[in-house]
C-alpha cells in the first residue's frame, strides 16, 4: 500500500436543467482504496467544509448491481477492462494525476444531478418484451426441458449484462444495441424464448428507437468498454432476429 494524492476534476450540475461545470478537488488516498471510496473521502471533506457533496450512483460495490456509472478519463467505468467503477482501485492511477470524472453522456440518459443520470429508458425497453410470458405456478419439472450446455452457457454469457449503460456512454451514436441484443440473445438461445422470439425482437427494438437511442455503426466501442465483456456478436444475432421478425410481418 502506498499513499497518493490525486486531483479529481469532477462534473458538477445542480439539476437536469441547470448548467454544469467541472470543478477540481485534491484528495489524499492510497493505492488499496477503491475509486468510489476515494470519492467518499472527497465527499467527507466537502461535508466537513459545509459544501454540497457530489451525487453519484453506487450500491453493491461488488460489480454486479449495475448502479455505478462514471466516465473516468474518457472511459466508462474507467481504465480497467472487464470491471465496473466500484471495482476500480487507485493503484490504477499515478500519484499526482488529474482524473476527469463525468456522468454518462447520452440524450437517453438525462443528468439528474452531478454524476447521476436517469437510466429509466433501459427499464422501459425491458418492459416492452424482455421476458417469457409465463405465469407463476404452471411450470413443468425443470429437468423435463434439457438444454444443451453450449447454448445454456452462451445464454448465460448474454444474461450477464448488468444494465449499467456503459455501452451507450461509450458509443458515439448513443446506441443501446449491445444492451438490447444481450437480452434478445439470451432468450433466442433458449427453448423457453422461442414462442415470443419474433415479437420480442420487434417490440424491444421499437421501444429502443422511440426512446432516442442512436443507431449502431459497428464501431465496437461498446464491447471494448463493457464491464461484463458482453460480446458484439450479440448485436449480429439481434440484427438477424430483427430481420427475420420483420420479414415474417
- Of residues 114 through 133, those in contact with other proteins by CB under 8 A are 116, 118-120, 122-123, 126-128, 130-133
Q: How far apart are CA 62 and CA 33, in angstroms?
A: 14
| Nine-digit cell string for 31 | 493505492
Residues 206-245 that bind other proteins (CB under 8 A): none
How would DSSP label each residue in 23-62? EEEEEEEETTSBHHHHHHHHHHHHHHTT-PPPP-----SS
Sole window of 44-52, 166-174, 216-224, 241-249 interacting with other proteins (rule: CB under 8 A): 44-52
Tell me the CB-side half-sphere exposure of residue 83, using CA atoms within 13 A: 15
Q: 95 in the Ramachandran plot: left (φ > 0), alpha (ψ -120 to 50) or beta?
A: beta
Does residue 247 interact with other proteins by CB under 8 A? no
Q: Is the separation of the CB atoms in 108 and 174 below 8 Å? A: yes
| Residue 98, helix vs strand vs coil | strand
Residue among 42, 67, 101, 208 that touches other proteins (CB under 8 A): 67
Q: Which is nearer to other proteins, 50 or 172 (CB)?
A: 50
Does residue 29 interact with other proteins by CB under 8 A? yes
Residue among 2, 19, 62, 249 that touches other proteins (CB under 8 A): 62
Does residue 81 interact with other proteins by CB under 8 A? no
Residues 159-198 that bind other proteins (CB under 8 A): 159-160, 162-163, 186-187, 190, 192-193
Q: Which is nearer to other proteins, 192 or 219 (CB)?
A: 192
Q: How far is the CB of 236 from other proteins (least distance, A)?
A: 20
Q: Judged by CB under 8 A, how many residues of this single chain contact other proteins?
A: 81
Q: How far apart are CA 43 and CA 22, in angstroms?
A: 16
Q: How far apart are CA 122 and CA 167, in angstroms?
A: 12
Q: How far is the CB of 218 from other proteins (least distance, A)?
A: 27
Q: Is the separation of the CB atoms in 115 and 70 below 8 Å? A: yes
Q: Which is nearer to other proteins, 141 or 218 (CB)?
A: 141
Does residue 135 interact with other proteins by CB under 8 A? yes
Angle of helix 177-188 relative to helix 149-159, nearest 10 degrees, comes to 150
Q: How far is the CB of 238 from other proteins (least distance, A)?
A: 16
Amino acid at each position: 500500500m502506498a499513499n497518493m494524492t490525486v486531483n479529481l476534476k469532477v462534473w458538477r450540475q445542480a439539476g437536469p436543467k441547470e448548467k454544469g461545470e467541472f470543478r477540481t478537488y485534491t484528495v489524499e488516498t492510497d493505492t488499496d482504496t477503491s475509486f468510489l471510496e476515494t470519492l467518499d473521502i472527497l465527499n467527507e471533506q466537502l461535508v466537513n467544509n459545509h459544501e454540497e457533496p457530489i451525487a453519484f450512483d453506487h450500491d453493491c460495490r461488488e460489480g454486479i448491481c449495475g448502479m455505478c456509472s462514471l466516465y473516468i478519463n474518457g472511459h466508462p467505468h474507467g481504465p480497467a477492462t472487464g470491471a465496473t467503477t466500484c471495482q476500480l482501485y487507485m493503484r490504477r492511477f499515478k500519484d499526482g494525476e488529474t482524473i476527469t470524472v463525468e456522468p454518462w453522456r447520452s440524450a437517453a440518459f438525462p443528468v439528474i444531478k452531478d454524476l447521476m443520470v436517469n437510466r429509466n429508458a433501459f427499464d422501459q425497453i425491458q418492459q416492452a418484451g424482455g421476458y417469457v410470458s409465463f405465469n407463476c405456478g404452471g411450470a413443468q419439472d425443470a429437468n423435463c426441458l434439457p438444454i444443451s450446455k453450449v447454448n445454456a452457457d452462451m445464454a448465460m454469457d448474454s444474461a450477464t449484462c448488468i444494465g449499467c449503460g456503459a455501452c451507450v456512454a461509450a458509443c458515439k451514436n448513443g446506441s443501446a444495441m449491445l444492451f438490447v441484443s444481450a437480452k434478445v440473445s439470451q432468450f433466442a438461445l433458449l427453448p423457453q424464448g422461442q414462442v415470443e422470439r419474433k415479437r420480442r425482437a420487434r417490440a424491444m427494438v421499437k421501444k429502443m428507437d422511440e426512446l432516442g437511442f442512436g443507431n449502431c455503426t459497428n464501431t465496437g466501442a461498446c464491447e471494448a468498454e463493457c464491464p461484463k465483456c458482453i460480446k458484439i456478436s450479440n448485436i449480429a444475432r439481434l440484427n438477424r432476429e430483427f430481420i427475420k421478425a420483420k420479414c415474417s410481418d
